Amino acid sequence: MSKPNKGCLLAFVVVLAANFSVFAQLERRPLQLPKVRAGEPCPVSAGSHKTVPRVPYIFCSECLWFGGGPAYFAWAYRLGHGDDAVFDLTGVPRDKSGYSAKTPWVAKSDYSGEIRISGHRIDGKGTLRFGTGGAKTRKKLVLTAPNHEPGDHWSFWPAGMDIPHAGCYAVQVDTSNGTQIVVFMAEENR
């Protein structure tokens, strides 16, 4: 058995320390969500159909995608108003804790690192919960990119978001590139 190469071991420790530093910075980043007073309109974000490539390995790649990058999410149900983040809760599965919407996530092919996601209602009370792969939902979702073989594929996660009830919500997406906020309105048009 050969002895470990000290240079390789030192490089591994440096990379591990750098990754831990980025992780620690993301963990400490505070929520920076806007507030909306009763009666004020919800300042919804705009989405784009051009953000994500239309490829078969991304579910809903033709959907409207929200975020400023390098990570984005889509609403896999009916939208309410053009390119605005106004989501119709009609048809979204509901249980005693609220609605459970399919919200796939992607990250650009050149992004490598953690993606931390959290959010809540900004015009009242209500916390968003997130989950992937059928796991129990939680207040914070942490994704790691890339989640595929090396190449030009975007990272993709089939995910869900639990929304307690109709209202104005904000999602904060933290990456090593910065913080993005997406504001959306969830409407009950039953």
Beta-bridge mates of residue 186: 87, 167
146 upstream amide cis, omega within 30 of 0: yes
pLDDT in tens, 171-181: 999 999 999 99
Q: What is the separation of C-alpha 62 from the centre of its chain, rounded to a whole number of angstroms? A: 17
pLDDT in tens, 34-65: 888 878 999 999 999 999 999 999 999 999 99
The percent helix, strand, coil of the chain (3-state, each to 5) is 10, 35, 50
Pull the structure tokens for residue 122: 């900004």
6-187 maps to CATH 2.70.150.10? no
> CA 73, CA 156: separation in Å to the nearest integer?
10
Domain boundaries, the chain: 6-187
pTM of the model: 0.82
pLDDT in tens, 55-98: 999 999 999 999 999 999 999 887 766 899 999 998 899 988 89
Beta-bridge mates of residue 175: 178
Whose CA is closest to 113, among 51, 55, 71? 71
The whole-number pLDDT of residue 20 equals 47
